[in-house]
A and B are shown apart, each in its own frame.
Chain A
Amino acid sequence: MARALYVHVPFCEQICHYCDFNKFFLKNQPVDQYVDTAVEEMEMTTKRMPTEQIDTIYVGGGTPTALTTPQLERLLRGITTHFPVAPDAEWTVEVNPGSADIDKMKMMKQAGVNRLSIGVQTFDEGLLQAINRDHQNAHVEETLHAAHTAGITNLSIDLMFGLPTQTFRQWQQTLQAAVSLPVTHISAYSLKIEPKTVFYQMMNRGHLRMPAQEVEADMYEELLQTAEANDFLPYEISNFAKPGFESRHNLTYWNNEGYYGIGAGAHSYTEGIRRRNHGPLPKYFRSMEEHGHPYLEEHPVTFQEKMEEEMFMGLRKRIGVSGTQFHERYGMRLDEAFPSVVPELVEHGLLERNEERLALTEKGRLLGNEVFERFLIDQ
């Protein structure tokens, strides 16, 4: 039974050059119809697949705060109307700096939101422009201030490194600025150029100057050091939290547990089935209207896939995967499920055993994909 809920808001006032998520330029979009349909989907979902309790909610995008206060309120109220949200649930909304004023913040707080994830990305104004973010540094402070005023104090910021032309020095400065903010959590991702983005086009034309792999690796190491020195604990490859402020919602994914996914292009994992919703709005609307559900793909996860996912998601966590828990879930030991893989990776210094747990080493964290790949079992 899923106890986590993701709700997708696919609208943005400006499109970032790196973003390949399901999103649409806000202007002239049927936003009200979207909110209504998403709420319908919530109703349909709990009817089909009821749950005892929702422990974590994440409203992401796109830019959820691109919705007007009344639109966003309708969406948030829809959640509490249709899902049994626990009193102590972690409820996060993604916010762009400058995109939510105090009124919107207050409304969110009223509706139950208690955590914000703020898309800062970088404190270098030049780089902000280069990646086509629509905010400036001053907006970050405004947003933090508004959140605190509204009573939302569990705040996370997103950062990116390995941006085009970004230097190690620039990244250091961004990191220093980030750790000095009144926030509880930092997510930091290295840029990956994806198809269907402006950056992809630019790269194919040779117009992007990317930092060398060595510099990126140095940036990551600097991130680890700066975070730890400032009491942000690296509980996952890209996530750092003050003690007790780990993202409970994201841990759902890494712990290979179920979650609902509402909205255009949203993914869900309920009752052992992974589903993907239609992304384009007309298709999302039509599917809801004609079939009563928005699913584009459904994939029942096989036993083997489940084991594989347990590993390649679970190993992202600093504490890694529990051998005992694995045995409980799958009825076999790790070295039975993945014979020879674990000893080899341990020997190569990519994995380490910690009593009954298995986790990435320092070297393994930088080469995570090389490790994860090994846990895909050959057919």
Chain B
Amino acid sequence: MGVIYVNREQRIERRDHIRNFSIIAHIDHGKSTLADRILEQTSALTDREMKDQMLDAMDLERERGITIKLNAVQLGYKAKNGETYIFHLIDTPGHVDFAYEVSRSLAACEGALLIVDAAQGIEAQTLANVYLALDNELEIIPVINKIDLPSAEPEKVRKEVEDVIGLPGEECIPASAKSGLGIEDIMEAVVERVPAPTGDPEGPLQAMIFDSIYDPYRGVIVYIRIVEGTVKPGEKIRMMNKGKDFEVQEIGVFTPKPVAQDELTVGDVGFLIASVKNVGDSQVGDTITHANRPAPEPLPGYRKLNPMVFCGLYPVDTNNYNDLREALEKLELNDSALQFEAETSQALGFGFRCGFLGLLHMEIIQERIEREFGIDLITTAPSVVYEVTKTDGTFMEIDNPSEMPDAQQLEQVKEPYVKAEVMVPNEYVGPVMELCQRKRGNYLDMKYLDETRVNIVYEIPLSEIVYDFFDTLKSSTKGYASFDYELIGYKESNLVKMDILLNGETIDALSIIVHRDSAYNRGKHIADRLKDLIPRQQFEVPVQASIGQKVIARSTIKAMRKNVLAKCYGGDVSRKRKLLEKQKEGKKRMKSVGNVEVPQEAFMSVLSMDENK
């Protein structure tokens, strides 16, 4: 590495010694540990340089045990055949919200290691990524990890790999990333089985962007895989789908420290810096080519990401509104899938309507705002995008329940459905099916993976998934279920907007779109909660849930009957004053809706509730 190649033959010689691969694994099945072992056994870096689990960069990722952003490391490996190979290990996010990013990083590879926990078998999310890898025609090398666990059942897992994925069981490599067992076999398999890249180093440049991150000092750092051609600093490049030109300032590879190079050529995986100000200009899946000698067409597979889940984000302290805007703008630099626009809620004040790829994406953004920017947030109930046709023929896409037209104006409402796959030990089939039914699911399929594990497939409205499906699934299967979903399209549903009224006035932030059949239960639940959370006022306050003009559930906050000071001890007037000031301050922090003073905690508590509480 670090050698300058001067002619086509040398570049092709180099290309044939490149192996690009990624690791597919379920959370906790040992991906990061395996990556660490591979890094140790190659010429990447010394032990001392390495933090545990090098690939997971952000704190948040470490804590959640997931990888949010991809990384690509260049490693040198001297194989048993005496040749030295260049490995590019490309890390992938493990979650369904980032399925597109996963598919692009897989598209940057020719092979993938499939890590399966010897005690737990294949999980739903893993399977989804395996299918993505097969779609990208990757060579899959199954690895059965943690074989030294007492509970390991490698033979059972081998059979599962054969039955479920159709890969020959004998190709599975037994390993223990923790103890280092089988690592060399894995490396040799990468050399032997993963095909070398193809492509012409002198062809018109085609480099696929599989990630881009914003760095406050360097601007956007673009992660690329060169499919055709060669790129060097100083050249003019073009983002083919975005249609913007930039000048290359620096290119290089990660070892895993970034190391500048004189060129990146066919088969290479590395980074490119070109004064790109915003990750939106270097979108994942886009193709980079030369501005003066463009490729005839971009690489296939580019897709603009559309948010699937929306919610309102409001600062708990209204003074933090501008801070929240800045936080979102900063996050947007690094996250082209994040969308936001200002919105105002009567109940919650000034905030932003934000769009996310999915629930996890939403949670990560919320958590980063709270943690990295120190802003406490109120989050409205997540909503999906509804397709609405009004009686006058107008078509609308609605991601905010308060914008839903009244029921009498609705001709048709469609909602997004997902195909949900749940893998679960067979004793939980009952509870899972019951849950899916309750969530308005339609049964599609059920398969026994082996004697004890079942794959259950339903189509379910996405809105039910974002409500509390994960939590309920977890609790009703003692955490044994694994779950994955993909969007399958829109279907008509009997949906209505339900408003919550306080003293006759609608609380905008609490409006939700629900299926008519579950409206009463949801409405009653919210009304009862509010009754308990809102302090008594000087008058009786009705809390109602309504569909259009029709009240479907109601509860009542009784009028305050008594609030008067007790004994004035020995003339302690200051204490009385403090008590009154505290009372007055408390009211200032409340929002007034329908003449009713509502503490912010009441909104927060209602918005955060799920059916189990």
Contacts and interface: CB of A to CB of B under 8 A. Distances in A.
A276 B587 CA distance: 29
Contacts of A332: none
B538 A367 contact: yes
A217 interface: yes
A189 interface: yes
A214 B558 CA distance: 10
Interface string B547-564: 000000000001011111
A192 B567 CA distance: 9
B568 interface: yes
A269 B571 CA distance: 8
Nearest to A308: B577
A372 interface: yes
Contact of A214 (B561, B568, B573): B561
Contacts of A305: 577
B561 A366 contact: yes
B570 A274 contact: no
B581 interface: yes
Interface residues of B, number: 26
A369 B574 contact: no
B95 interface: no
A325 B563 CA distance: 28
Contacts of B569: 21, 60
A253 B573 contact: yes
Interface string A308-323: 1100110010000000
B536 interface: yes
A299 B576 CA distance: 15
Interface in A298-348: 299, 305, 308-309, 312-313, 316, 348
A341 B87 CA distance: 77
Interface residues of A, number: 46
Interface in A218-249: 220, 237-238
Interface in A247-263: 250, 252-253, 259, 261
B583 interface: yes
Interface string A197-233: 0000000000000000110110010000000000000
Among B567, B571, B572, B579: residue with most chain A CB under 10 A:
B571
A366 B562 contact: yes
Among A189, A213, A217, A369: residue with most chain B CB under 10 A:
A369
Nearest to B573: A309
B584 interface: yes
Nearest to A61: B570
A369 B571 contact: no
Interface in B577-613: 577, 579-581, 583-584, 587
A269 B570 CA distance: 11
A106 interface: no
B6 to A, nearest CB: 77
B277 to A, nearest CB: 45
A370 B560 CA distance: 10
6 contacts: A189-B567, A190-B566, A237-B565, A367-B563, A368-B565, A372-B565
Interface of B: 536, 538, 558, 560-574, 576-577, 579-581, 583-584, 587
